[in-house]
Amino acid sequence: MKQKIVSLVTSVLTVLTVTTAPFTAAAAGKTTDYTIKDYAAAESYYNRVVLSKSWQNSDDRNERGEMLQLPAYMLNRMTTDALVEAVLDYPYFYDIYAFDDVQEGVDLMMQTFNGVRELADRDDVASVLLDKYSGEEVLTDASSADAEVFRLTNLEVLLSQDFVTTKLDKKEKSKFVKNIASKMDDKIASPVYGDFTNNLVFDLTEENSKDSGLLKDMQTVRDGKATSTYVKTPNGTKVAATAYSTEPLSSSQISSINKKYDAAYPKAKRLRSASGKYNCHSYAWYSTSTSNNKWINNPSAYWTDKSYKQTTTAKAGRKIIYVDRSKNTLQHSSIVYSVSNSTITVNSKWGKCGLYRHSLTNSPYTNCKYYCFYR
| CA–CA separation, 73 and 27 (whole Å) | 10
Pairwise CA distance, residues 314 & 343, whole Å: 10
Task: Count CB neighbours of 89 within 10 A.
Answer: 17
- pLDDT for the residue numbered 16: 44
Pick from 360, 371, 234: which is nearest to 308 by CA? 234
CB 373 within 8 A of CB 310: yes
* DSSP-derived secondary structure letter, 267: T
- Span 124-178, pLDDT tens digits: 999 999 999 999 999 999 988 778 999 999 999 999 999 999 999 999 998 988 8
| 359, 59 contact by CB (below 8 A) | yes
Residue 24, Cβ neighbours under 10 Å: how many? 10
pTM (global) more than 0.95: no
Which one-letter amino acid corresponds to residue 356?
Answer: Y
Residue 283: how many CB atoms within 10 A of its CB?
23
Q: Cα 136 vs. chain centroid, distance in angstroms?
A: 22
Instruction: Read off the pLDDT of each residue in 32-49 and give the average, rounded to a whole number.
Output: 88
Q: Is 54 left (phi over 0), alpha (psi -120 to 50) or beta?
A: alpha
pLDDT the model gives residue 3: 55
Taking the C-alpha atoms of residue 29 and residue 57, their distance in angstroms, rounded to an integer, is: 33
Confidence of residue 35 (pLDDT cuts 50, 70, 90): confident
- Give dist(CA 91, CA 17) in Å, integer: 27
pLDDT(373) > 50: yes
H runs (alpha helix) in the chain: 40-51, 53-57, 61-67, 72-75, 80-88, 102-112, 114-121, 125-134, 151-159, 162-165, 170-189, 195-208, 212-218, 251-264, 280-281, 301-304
Confidence of residue 11 (pLDDT cuts 50, 70, 90): low
The CB density around residue 56, as the number of other CB atoms within 10 Å, is 12
pLDDT of 22 reads 43
Q: How far apart are CA 355 and CA 279, in angstroms?
A: 9
β-sheet bridge partners, residue 348: 356
Q: How many CB atoms lie within 10 A of CB 22?
A: 15
pLDDT of residue 249: 94
The whole-number average pLDDT for the span 63-71 is: 96
Q: Tell me which of 182 and 324 has the higher pLDDT.
A: 324
Q: Render pLDDT for 75-123 as a digit per residue (tens, 0 to 9).
A: 999 999 999 999 999 999 999 999 999 999 999 999 999 999 999 999 9
Determine the pLDDT at residue 358.
98
Buried b (16+ CB within 10 A) or exposed e, 206-224: eebbebeebeebbeeeeee
pLDDT tens-digit series, residues 212-255: 888 777 764 333 356 789 999 999 999 999 999 889 999 999 99
Q: Delimit the domains of the chain by residue range.
A: 24-226
Q: Kindly indicate the confidence band of residue 9, based on its pLDDT and cuts at 50, 70 and 90.
A: low
Judge contact between 79 and 43, C-beta under 8 A.
Answer: no
Q: What is the 3-state secondary structure (H, E, C) of 294-345?
A: EECCCCCHHHHCCCCEEECCCCCCCEEEEEECCCCEEEEEEEEEEEECCEEE
Task: Provide CB contacts within 8 A for 63, sequence distance 6+.
Answer: none
DSSP 247-263: -SS-HHHHHHHHHHHHH
Condensed to tens digits (0 to 9), the pLDDT of residues 254-304 reads: 999 999 999 999 999 999 999 999 999 999 999 999 999 999 999 999 999
Query: Which residues, at least 6 apart from 131, have a Cβ–Cβ distance to it below 8 Å?
Result: none
